[in-house]
Amino acid sequence: DQREIKQLCSILSEGRFGSKVFNRLDDLEDGLNRSDSLAAILDVDSFPMNNRIIRILKDSFPQLNIFCTSHRRLHPELEDSLSRHICA
């Protein structure tokens, strides 16, 4: 949702954090390769997400803190990632 993306970017900029929006996982990986990002906020409702994708992302960028947003409260398909790789 573009409105929510703008709101989140605005909140981050108030705290003096930069933000970049990537609409595809490949674009995110390319962006992470070109920067020293400390965190990624993934909207797990936007595209199919699973434990394997999260694990590969964390293995490729071990310093990265991964946060997720979703309209759903539960994500059984991400149970392993939630216990090992996702911060919140």
DSSP string of 17-86? ------SSHHHHHHHHHTS---EEEEETTTS---HHHHHHHHHH-TT-EEEEE-SSS--GGGHHHHHHTB
Which tens digits make up the pLDDT trace of 27-86? 999 999 998 888 999 999 888 889 999 999 999 999 999 999 898 888 889 999 999 999
Q: How many CB atoms lie within 10 A of CB 43?
A: 16
pTM across the whole model: 0.84
Tell me if 43 sits within 8 A of 23, measured CB to CB.
Answer: no
